[in-house]
């Protein structure tokens, strides 16, 4: 009983699906975002660094070189199967012919079994989804959609540049083509209360999604959120609040959703606060402990 998993973790899901361990190759596709290039705004989301959540990636190299470098490094010895993961910025924000060229540039090794694309709900259309669908004969494909919160007023504070209605449209389109959807939400956003988190969970439950990423809100250098923090206009949440919030999310969503992560990793050299964000084990162990003590399971509150 000690080793029972109380929520559905991505690692086990992939192992079951592919029969063995599967690892991600994180790729910088050379994209930008519509709230960076002036289409919908400038500066990106207030919590996002200049690297667009890909601070550890090699931005100087082309896509094929990044993949080749991975396979010549020790990291590729840890598994036999891999996911080409387009991570930072908006990885569907280009004409379809350019997208195809970029995705194809990553899928250059037979050990790659999946294609994962992280993007914004307002950068999904039927033509793009049809392109993604074309890869499903050979690869497992999923699309990650940043929601962060269902509260559109918070969305304005974040400089998100899209609405919850945009999210709904994107999910419906991806559902139409049977492409798995992974949703990103963030806990501890400016001005958000626990009630906002509950509303976001309720909102997610009205959609047909297959995966969930739960992130804490952390402050990194050279962001608008850092400025807000330094001016006393943003207070980071505590570790205990975050653990309680994660457990609430896990127990109130569908048991069938795959949990891709329950903690966001800030780059150590850029993190301003909260300090506990550097200790991922504190989050993982804290959530496991609370769920075990209270005998809680994913979906158990539904």
Q: Evaluate whether residue 5 is within a structural domain.
A: no
Whether residue 52 contacts residue 270, with contact meaning beta carbons closer than 8 Å, is answered with: no
Question: Looking at residue 218, what is its pLDDT?
Answer: 93
Asked whether the bond before 274 is cis by omega within 30 degrees of 0, the reply is: yes
What tens digit of pLDDT does each residue of 97-121 get?
A: 999 999 999 999 999 999 999 999 9
- Domain contains 2: no
**Beta carbons of 264 and 237 less than 8 angstroms apart:** no
The token duo for 81 is: 């199967």
Per-residue model confidence (pLDDT) at position 121: 95
β partners of residue 211: 182, 258
Count of domains forming the chain: 1
Question: Considering the domain boundaries, does residue 299 fall inside one?
Answer: no
- Is the full-model pTM beyond 0.85? yes
In degrees and rounded to multiples of 5, residue 34 shows phi and psi of -65, -20
Q: Give the CATH number, domain containing residue 158.
A: 3.20.20.70
Give pLDDT, residue 208: 98
| pLDDT (0 to 100) of residue 50 | 63
**Does residue 298 sit within a domain?**
no
What radius of gyration do the chain's Cα atoms show? 19
Residue 146 burial (C-beta neighbours within 10 Å; 0-12, 13-18, 19+): buried
pLDDT of residue 88: 83
How far is the C-alpha of 244 from the C-alpha of 135, rounded, in Å? 39
Specify the pLDDT at position 33: 82
Question: Could you say which residues of the chain have pLDDT below 50?
Answer: 1-2, 52-59
Two tokens at 257? 């959703």
Whether 190 is covered by a domain: the verdict is: yes
DSSP the chain: -TT--SS-BHHHHHHHHHSS-EEEEEE------TTTSSSS-SS--TT--TTTT-TTS-TTS-HHHHHHHHHTSGGGGG-SEEEEEE-SS-TT-S-HHHHHHHHHHH--STTEEEEEEEE-GGG--HHHHHHHHHTTTTSEEEEEEEEE-S-HHHHHHTT----HHHHHHHHHHHHHTT-EEEEEEEES-TT--HHHHHHHHHHHHTS--SEEEEEE--EETTSHHHHHHHTTS--PPPHHHHHHHHHHHHHHS-TTSEEEESS----TTTEEE-GGGG-HHHHHHHHHHHHHHTT--TTTT-
Q: Count CB-CB contacts under 10 A for residue 70.
A: 19
In a domain, 240, yes or no: yes
Range of the domain at 82: 10-293
Position 19 in a domain: yes
Taking only the tens place, the pLDDT of each residue in 19-30 is 999 999 999 998
Domain presence at residue 277: yes
């Amino acid at each position: 009983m000690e080793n029972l998993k109380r929520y559905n973790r991505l690692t086990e899901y992939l192992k079951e699906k592919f029969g063995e361990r599967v690892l991600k190759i994180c790729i910088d596709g050379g994209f930008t975002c519509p709230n960076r290039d002036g289409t919908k705004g400038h500066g990106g989301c207030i919590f996002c660094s200049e690297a667009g959540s890909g601070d550890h990636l090699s931005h100087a190299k082309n896509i094929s070189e990044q993949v080749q470098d991975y396979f010549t490094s020790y990291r590729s010895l840890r598994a036999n199967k891999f996911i080409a993961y387009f991570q930072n910025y908006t990885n569907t924000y280009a004409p379809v012919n350019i997208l195809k060229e970029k995705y194809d540039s990553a899928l250059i090794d037979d050990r790659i079994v999946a294609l994962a694309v992280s993007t914004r709900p307002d950068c999904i259309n039927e033509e793009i989804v049809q392109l993604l669908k074309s890869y499903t004969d050979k690869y497992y494909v999923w699309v990650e959609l940043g929601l962060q919160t269902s509260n559109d007023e918070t969305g304005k504070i974040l400089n998100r540049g899209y609405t919850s209605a945009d999210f709904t449209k994107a999910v419906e389109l991806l559902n139409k083509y049977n492409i798995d959807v992974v949703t990103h939400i963030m806990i501890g956003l400016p001005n958000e209360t626990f009630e906002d988190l509950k509303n976001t969970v309720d909102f997610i439950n009205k959609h047909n999604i297959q995966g969930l990423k739960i992130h804490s809100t952390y402050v990194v250098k050279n962001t608008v959120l850092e400025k807000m923090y330094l001016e006393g206009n943003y207070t980071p949440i505590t570790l205990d609040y975050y653990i309680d919030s994660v457990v609430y999310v896990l127990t109130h969503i569908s048991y069938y959703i795959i949990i891709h992560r329950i903690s966001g990793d800030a780059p150590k050299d850029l993190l301003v606060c909260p300090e506990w964000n550097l200790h991922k084990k504190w989050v993982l162990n804290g959530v496991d402990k609370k769920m075990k003590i209270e005998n809680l399971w994913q979906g158990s509150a539904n």
